[in-house]
Amino acid sequence: MSLEIPRSHNPSERLVKPGWIKAKAPGSPEYLETKDIVRGLRLHTVCEEAHCPNIGECWTHHTATFLIMGDLCTRRCHFCAVKKGDAETLVALDPHEPNRVGSAVKELGLQHAVITSVDRDDVADGGAAHYAATVGAIHAQAPSCKIELLIPDMQGHVEDVRTIVSAGINILNHNLETVPRLYKKVRPYAGYIRSLSVLRWGKEIDPSIMTKSGIMLGIGEERDEVLALMDDLRDAGVDIMTIGQYLRPSAKQLPIRAWVTPEEFKDYEEQGLRRGFKFVESGPLVRSSYHAWKHSLPVATTSNASSHETPAA
């Protein structure tokens, strides 16, 4: 059973995390090397901007999720710590950024690169051409590297999704984040059906790519709602699903409503595999790009389809 947090809980109080929420502390030589490369090329990562708990483990393995199009987002999602931008603070996209990402992928020796972005609703195509240019730069500088893109909803414009998919990628990722009932609370400027459509379009545009989506648990969803969401993703042809615990980045974001147990995450993994997902990554510290290199493997089984254990400290 989830450890429920009483509805009267004061959001300003610090919650005591259960024992299974334990991440690797950053600071290894490999971590510092990754940090130096990212800093040297003046790049942003979602690892830092979103306060990901796995940064110590992932950067130690020279794995980072690059955040393109700046570090200011035009959306106001209530779970996210990425800084918000407006007409006065947003700047034009950097045309040299794609090549710097390609250089970072080459220097890190990545075999699987994950690229995501802030939402840039102020840009005519939502940044689709910038994504395509970044993919092209990676192909040019690290031709053997597989490419996974975690994209925004592109405001529901199918042609922008087509521009991204046609650039030549292996995995198209777009997160639903939560169940439909909680959208106004969690993602007030997004739409559940719109996000499902992005995933469906990706598969229709290029049936050879794998599609992927993720959700957070512990913000008020019910089990039957999660299972219904799984069915919706499978109906949209989605191949890969990630499921993790919502961790409140700061007092400015939504409070945690429940701590979901490792046993429950294992149950969701099994439920997803029964529904036909090729891969389910389900666990307390799982994030969309956690162990992403495994998700493009051609065959997934119950034994390798998820790493529901938390990273070693």
Q: What is the C-alpha to C-alpha distance for residues 4 and 179, in angstroms, rounded to an integer?
A: 18
pLDDT at 8 over 50: no
Q: What is the C-alpha to C-alpha distance for residues 33 and 141, in angstroms, rounded to an integer?
A: 20
Residues 6 or more apart whose CB falls under 8 angstroms from that of 10 comprise none
- Reading the block at residue 252, the tokens are 């400015």
Q: What is the C-alpha to C-alpha distance for residues 277 and 271, in angstroms, rounded to an integer?
A: 9
Task: Tell me what pLDDT residue 66 has.
Answer: 86
Task: Tell me what pLDDT residue 302 has.
Answer: 37
| Inter-CA distances, 99 with 42, 103, 136, 142, 308, Å | 11, 6, 9, 11, 35
* Cβ contact 120:160 at 8 Å: no
Of the pLDDT bands very low, low, confident and very high (cuts 50, 70, 90), residue 313 is very low
Strand 146-150 to strand 171-173: parallel, antiparallel, or no bridges (unpaired)?
parallel
Task: Tell me what pLDDT residue 90 has.
Answer: 95
Report the b/e string of 147-163 with b at 16+ CB within 10 A. Answer: bbbbbbbbebbeebbbb
| Inter-CA distances, 239 with 199, 221, 270, Å | 10, 22, 15
Beta-carbon count within 10 A of 193 CB = 10
**Taking residues 167-172, what's their average pLDDT?**
96
Which pLDDT tens digit goes with each residue over 129-146? 999 999 999 999 999 999
Q: What is the C-alpha to C-alpha distance for residues 66 and 104, in angstroms, rounded to an integer?
A: 9
Q: What is the mean pLDDT of the chain?
A: 84
**Residues linked to residue 102 through DSSP beta bridges, in sequence order:** none
Alpha-carbon Rg for the chain, nearest whole angstrom, is 18
Residues 6 or more apart whose CB falls under 8 angstroms from that of 83 comprise 49, 71, 72, 73
Which pLDDT tens digit goes with each residue over 11-70? 444 557 787 777 665 555 666 666 677 667 776 665 555 556 655 556 555 566 788 998
- H-helix or E-strand containing 173? strand 171-173
Chain centroid, CA 34 distance in Å: 20
Task: Tell me what pLDDT residue 213 has.
Answer: 97
Which pLDDT tens digit goes with each residue over 70-109? 889 999 888 887 889 988 999 999 999 999 999 989 988 8
- CATH code at 3-296: 3.20.20.70
